Amino acid sequence: MALLTPQDLEGLTKQLEYNNNTIKKATGMDIADICKQIYSTTLDGEKVGIVPITSGNGIISNFSSSLLTITEYFGLDGDITEHPDVTGYYEAVSSDADIILMADDHIFIAHNMRNGKIATNHVCTGVVYAEIASRYKYADSKDILVIGLGRVGYAGAQHLVKKDFDVYAYDPNRETLEKARKELGIIPYDPEEKHKFSMVLEATPNPNTISEGMVAERCLVSTPGIPCGLPEDIGKKNEIDLVMEPLMIGVASMIYAVM
Ligand SMILES: NC(=O)C1=CN([C@@H]2O[C@H](COP(=O)(O)OP(=O)(O)OC[C@H]3O[C@@H](n4cnc5c(N)ncnc54)[C@H](O)[C@@H]3O)[C@@H](O)[C@H]2O)C=CC1
Ligand SMILES: NCCC[C@@H](N)C(=O)NCCCC[C@H](N)C(=O)O
C-alpha cells in the first residue's frame, strides 16, 4: 500500500478549506454536514488521543500533527501522546480519551472508547468521497463512475450501490472487477466506451487514470487517490469540480463514523 509522505501533508489546512469550499459549491453542503448525513451522528468536543506508531516504515514526521490539526478543525480536543505504541496507547486511555486515532502501515483506525465503535480510514474515505460525488448538484443522471476497486474504491462503490445509483466501475485487475460485479452488482465499464459521467470517484495510486471519454462537460471528480488521477489538461478543458486532498476528509469521516 502506498504510504503518505511528509510532502503530501504540507499546507493541509489550506487544502481542507479549499476543498470544503469546492464541496459546498458542488453539493450545497460542507464536509461536516455530509458526514452527519452519512452516519446520523454529531460531534460534541470529544477528547481525541493521537498515538504515533513506530512499526513498519515508522513514524511519518507530520502525520500525528496533521491529525491534531484535523481534530481541532472540527472542534475536538486533540492530544498527541508523549510516547508511541503501547506506552502511548496506555497514556491516551489513562488520560480519558474518548476516541483513539492510530495507524500502522496497513490499517489506520478510529476507536471510540465509550461506545466501542471502530472504523478504518480506507472504508471511511471510500464512503465519504463517494457520498460527495453522489451529491453533485449538476449531475445529469444517476450514473456514476468508480475508477479503482481496491480497499477505498470498493467501499465507495458499495456505498453508492446501497444509495441506488447506477454504479459503473473500472479496474484493470480482472479478478477485482469480477468480484465487485458479483458481490455489488456494479456494471463493468469499458474505457473504450463513449459513456461520459457527471460524477466520478477515483481511488487509485496512479496518475492520469481519468480519460477525456469518461467525463461529461460539467463533472464532479471526487478523488482520494494519490497522486491525482485527473490530467491537468482535462481539468482545464471541461468544467470540472475537483475534490482531492490526502487525509482530512477521510479522517473527518472516521470520527463521525464512531460517534
Ligand atoms: N486521501 C485520503 O484520505 C486517502 C487516500 N488513499 C489513497 O487512495 C488510493 C487507493 O487506496 P487503496 O484503495 O488502499 O489502494 P489499493 O491498492 O487497495 O487499490 C487500488 C486499486 O486501483 C486499481 N488501479 C490501478 N490503476 C488503475 C487504473 N488506471 N484504472 C483503474 N483502476 C486502477 C488497482 O488495480 C487496485 O485495485 C491510494 O493512492 C491511497 O494512497 C487511501 C486512503 C485515504
Ligand atoms: N490518507 C490516509 C492514508 C494512510 C495510508 N495511505 C498511510 O500512509 N498509512 C501509513 C500511516 C503511518 C503512520 C505512522 N505509523 C505514524 O504513526 O506516524
Determine the residue of 131, 210, 226 to mutate for testing ligand 1's pocket, defined as the one with the most ligand atoms within 8 A of the Cβ atom. Answer: 226
Ligand 1 pocket by Cβ (under 6 Å): 1-2, 121-122, 125, 147-153, 170-173, 176, 203-206, 209, 224-226, 246-247, 250
The pLDDT value recorded for residue 1 is 65
Q: What is the ipTM of this complex?
A: 0.98
Beta bridge mates, 218: 239
Partners of 111 in the β-ladder: 100, 118
Name the residue at shortest CA distance from atom 16 of ligand 2. 59
Architecture of domain 6-121+250-257: 3-Layer(aba) Sandwich (3.40)
Decide if domain 123-245 falls under CATH 3.90.1150.10: no
Tell me phi and psi for residue 7, to 5 degrees.
-65, -35
pLDDT tens digits, 232-246:
999 888 899 999 999
Give residue 129's pLDDT band: very low, low, confident or very high (50, 70, 90). very high
pLDDT of residue 136: 98
| Type of residue found at 237 | K
Query: Sheet containing 99-103: which strands, arranged edge to edge?
Result: 77-80, 47-50, 99-103, 108-112, 118-120
> What's the confidence (pLDDT) of residue 219?
96
Ligand 2 midpoint to CA 125 (Å):
13
pTM of the model: 0.98
Q: Which residues line ligand 2 (CB under 6 A)?
A: 1-4, 52-53, 59-60, 63-64, 103-105, 108, 121, 246-247, 250
Domain ranges, ordered by start, for the chain: 6-121+250-257, 123-245
**200/219 Cα distance (integer angstroms):** 8
Is 50 within 8 Å of 79 (Cβ atoms)?
A: yes
Which residue CA neighbors atom 18 of ligand 2 most closely?
A: 59
